[in-house]
Chain A
């Protein structure tokens, strides 16, 4: 039996944003909708935080809700969290809350709080879900709010539709073929290829990444950020390909994502538009995470999972800072200096801090994760380690270039007051606390990701521990019945040695 949490945290945290979205739809003004959205997303963050805290105290690989309302209604318990997804839920909820809180009045007309809450519910449901068909359905549903926004703004939806439609079609086709053949433990060439291409499309890997730049250019910054920042593409890789994908599929994902990491980092250094710059920066980091997930080494995998969290927080904060600056001066071009430091010193500080955290600067959240990732990569494939380092170096240069272009270089003349608002300062304080707190006291976070990495490797090497597509009911999975395998990993000295028992 899967252990139960002490409260239906998952179902409540998914249901709350849905109710909030309904309330936003009937409210007369956007200001009122924002207030409701702030309350709802705060409560959602509280619930997801409660879920993480509750789960941490259980010392188990996975857990499901207390009472299981969904299971009683539908007959299946779709929402199960594990060590991988437990911290991703509060992380995503935090990103939504920060985005909603930091939306300025000038942008209220262009940002739909109802749609944002709907997409929050979808993202949280995706990250709480293990059933492949349910994940595919939720990934499809997640495309709806951005698509509607693109339509509403009069932009072309063709690129987004083409890429996301193809990805969904391939996911459905691939998984149908797996269902029809020998089951997930022995994926054949065609279904594995279809699923691999599908998740690569979703993750925005080069050369099928144009939808991401297009989305950032034409949708509102908040919507685009919230669509990509929770990294549901990587989550799909973890659940739809990695557990039973053949070796070549994993290698292809690793090579392509590594190429994307370096290429996107290079592209970020030459961008003239701030949104495109952010898009490439994010793409590079997300690809680093994706390539790290393929490392069959506890240290490397731990690093990738740490970077996943740190990139979510740091680049989420970085994007929100950029969005706040844009809300004041309009679209930012990076081919000239703006000199905004004197007007927005707090935002400048956060921009630099979160940017440095994303590249793994010492003392920030990303440092240990990046170090572990490179250490693991160098241990397994030295070339991969060099590529990761190259991407991190280029990203560092791109971030400093953007900082200098936006905040320095001249004096920005204006009579308007551009200083940060209290809500923005709140967001700045929270993010600074997380970035520096996680950087100065990294052990709890890293240890939690190390547990997750060990369990993931266990499951990769013992496919019988993986949930079957149809056996989503918790009763079907008996952890105790499965033998506990200890993965072999290459030690730092280059010798093979067994990882310590968890």
Chain B
């Protein structure tokens, strides 16, 4: 009973924060900064304590998997007979007692709302609560009297809920829900300082990349659903507890689904060719940059790969692709990080280097090391990003004391490389590998040009049909005046 309560608390505490802040915004009830901060702290602390209780129980009882099953959120299973109004049945089942939700042969639809506490989800959830709590406390002072204070905490609540849902998701649809919430809050927070065009443009860029990656995720989820007959990870990844599961699909199917998931993970974790959005995301306030792009959100792609690791194991080619993508991103990020002119961008690329190493580790078949790497890196990077504004001041003080810039001895590469090569590489790194330009030139611009051309043609056709070009222009003028 206590375990069930703790399980529900982990999920409900961030949801309650979102409900309180959302309702206050909707009803235009002014909450003081202190109240908002206290609600955020209460949410993080209660969720963290509940998660720690479950972890203690699991360690004490030597249990590796504790599912929290809310039943079918949507069930198209003989709806006439069982009526739609039955309340969802919440159950916390002992390990091994969970029945398979395989419905491949019944031709029905089930949207399973299920959360799983296992060796992957519990550390990730605890890390999310800890870092969100720290950043909540930091933002209380950092954003004091900021115009968008309440807005920040509303997006923060969406993000925290998204992270917890993603971490604990027991089915691929539930993971997708959390994934989308994280994406939305990220894009809105990048555009947080929305009285300037640059943050807004960057927010739209981040949103566009996320939407494309989310589309790949959804296709993968539905394909998995079709192949295994259920969205439940236990059915998808075999009966064994993470990381010991064995997926039951074929190698080719694993390659197809895995490639789509890798694409989705690349979008979320800013791997090549989507790396361009990461420095753009630093337009947001420092607390959000720290917790989202330095610590939590940027690791979500790696988390997804870890969650579906039994699928990766089925296809050596897929594992090779994961390693290759990680290596390419690592080299690119290492070069780009060295030429950044501002500390937040440099830190974002430093994050990307670590994320790509984690991806390589996953591709090489490691499971616990990437998880430990994620936790360590997230904590370190949060500290660095939160310290970034004051670090600049420290450097400034130091340079003032020295009366000159800090000495730069240069690396081995700098000394051994020819000047022309160095200039070329510098340019390549400064232009961030031309990734954004390539995406713009080969995908975005042709797309926009085609639809703009279609729009012009349509307007001409409409004018021709109306036969009232003059009147049209007049009306347009009137409207503009109005």
Interface residues, chain A, CB within 8 Å of chain B? Answer: 59, 154-156, 158-159, 162, 210, 213-214, 218, 263, 266-267, 269-271, 298-299, 302, 330-331, 337, 339, 341-342, 345-346, 349, 356, 361-363, 367-368, 371-372, 374-375, 378-379, 385-386, 389-390, 392-393, 396-397, 400-401, 404, 407-411, 428-429, 432, 442-444, 446-448, 450-451, 489-495, 497-502
A447 CB contacts on chain B under 8 angstroms: 76, 79, 84
Cα-based distance from A375 to B191 in the complex (angstroms): 33
B103 CB contacts on chain A under 8 angstroms: 492
Q: Could you name 26 residue pairs across A and B whose Cβ atoms are closer than 8 Å?
A: A158-B468, A210-B462, A270-B448, A270-B451, A302-B76, A342-B195, A345-B25, A361-B184, A362-B177, A368-B74, A375-B109, A389-B215, A393-B211, A396-B207, A407-B194, A409-B194, A442-B73, A443-B84, A443-B85, A448-B84, A491-B104, A491-B107, A492-B225, A497-B105, A498-B107, A500-B108
Cα-based distance from A409 to B198 in the complex (angstroms): 8
Contact of B471 with A156 in the complex, beta carbons under 8 Å: yes
Interface size, B (range): 35 or more
Contact of B76 with A156 in the complex, beta carbons under 8 Å: no
Partner of B451, one of A267, A341, A379, A409: A267
Cα-based distance from A410 to B193 in the complex (angstroms): 10
Cα-based distance from A380 to B225 in the complex (angstroms): 14
Contact of B218 with A389 in the complex, beta carbons under 8 Å: yes
Known contacts A214-B462, A299-B109; 8 further A-B pairs (Cβ under 8 A): A154-B471, A158-B465, A356-B184, A374-B218, A393-B215, A396-B207, A401-B204, A410-B197
- Is residue B28 contacting chain A, with contact meaning CB distance below 8 A? yes
- Is residue B77 contacting chain A, with contact meaning CB distance below 8 A? yes
- Is residue B472 contacting chain A, with contact meaning CB distance below 8 A? yes
B207 CB contacts on chain A under 8 angstroms: 396-397, 400
- Is residue B59 contacting chain A, with contact meaning CB distance below 8 A? no
Within residues 188 to 234 of chain B, which ones have a CB less than 8 A from any CB in chain A? Answer: 191, 194-197, 200, 203-204, 207-208, 211-212, 214-215, 218-219, 222-223, 225-229
Given contacts A214-B466, A331-B480, contact A501 B191 (CB under 8 A): no
Q: Which 4 A-B pairs have the closest CB atoms?
A: A447-B84, A493-B104, A408-B194, A491-B107
Q: From DSSP, what is the main secondary structure of chain A's interface residues?
A: helix
Closest to B192 in A: A408
**Total A-B pairs in contact (CB under 8 Å)?**
193
Q: From DSSP, what is the main secondary structure of chain B's interface residues?
A: helix
Contact of A159 with B204 in the complex, beta carbons under 8 Å: no
Partner of A408, one of B73, B195, B219, B482: B195
Interface string of B18-54 (1 = CB under 8 A from A): 0000000110100000000000000000000000000
The smallest C-beta distance from A276 to any residue of chain B, in angstroms, reads 8
- Is residue B10 contacting chain A, with contact meaning CB distance below 8 A? no
B227 CB contacts on chain A under 8 angstroms: 493
- Interface hub of A158, A270, A361 (most chain B Cβ within 10 A): A270
Cα-based distance from A162 to B467 in the complex (angstroms): 12
Interface string of B441-480 (1 = CB under 8 A from A): 0000001101110110010011001111001100100011
Contact of B80 with A502 in the complex, beta carbons under 8 Å: yes
Cα-based distance from A260 to B215 in the complex (angstroms): 19
Contact of A404 with B191 in the complex, beta carbons under 8 Å: yes
Given contacts A267-B451, A349-B26, A375-B109, contact A404 B76 (CB under 8 A): no
Contact of A158 with B211 in the complex, beta carbons under 8 Å: no
Contact of A393 with B212 in the complex, beta carbons under 8 Å: yes
- Is residue B409 contacting chain A, with contact meaning CB distance below 8 A? no
The smallest C-beta distance from B160 to any residue of chain A, in angstroms, reads 14
Closest to B147 in A: A342
Contact of A500 with B77 in the complex, beta carbons under 8 Å: yes
Within residues 49 to 102 of chain B, which ones have a CB less than 8 A from any CB in chain A? Answer: 73-80, 84-85
Contact of A404 with B203 in the complex, beta carbons under 8 Å: yes
The smallest C-beta distance from B292 to any residue of chain A, in angstroms, reads 17
A59 CB contacts on chain B under 8 angstroms: 80
- Interface hub of A162, A396, A397, A443 (most chain B Cβ within 10 A): A443
A267 CB contacts on chain B under 8 angstroms: 451, 454-455
Contact of B219 with A386 in the complex, beta carbons under 8 Å: yes
Partner of B105, one of A362, A396, A491, A502: A491
B480 CB contacts on chain A under 8 angstroms: 330-331
B229 CB contacts on chain A under 8 angstroms: 491-493
Closest to B188 in A: A352
Contact of B226 with A154 in the complex, beta carbons under 8 Å: no
Given contacts A210-B458, A389-B219, A500-B77, contact A375 B197 (CB under 8 A): no
Given contacts A371-B173, A374-B222, A389-B219, contact A337 B197 (CB under 8 A): yes
B195 CB contacts on chain A under 8 angstroms: 339, 342, 408-411
